[in-house]
Amino acid sequence: MDRVFTDNQEEIVEYGLEKIDSNETVEVNLKDLTYVYRTLQEYMRFFHQPAQSDIHNFLGTADKPAGFHILNESVYEKMRDMFPEHIEDKFGEGDFDCPKLPSYYNENR
């Protein structure tokens, strides 16, 4: 199967979301949600700047308290328990895996 790539990240992010009832809600830990929100705000602030020559310093590593670390913490720690089991199952079953890959994806990195 040939891989299909796209520059449309919104298409990737929204893939499969129609499988979620738009009226379903969850209750989450406010501190964890705020951490995730603040992480996204920090990414917005960085990428809103005209020059990204300092991207490696901004991202750092998973061990350095920089961009990659806070994103990793947000996704794998803070948000881990925010999804109900049936949605976690959908992630595990690939229901949200868009058949297109982002154009920047390189499995050899």
- pTM value? 0.79
Please write the tens of the pLDDT for every residue from 37-80. Answer: 999 999 998 888 766 668 888 888 778 888 999 999 999 999 98
Instruction: Please tell me whether residue 100 adopts helix, strand or coil conformation.
Output: strand
pLDDT winner (highest mean) among 15-19, 47-51, 80-84: 15-19
Q: Which pLDDT score, from 0 to 100, does residue 24 have?
A: 96
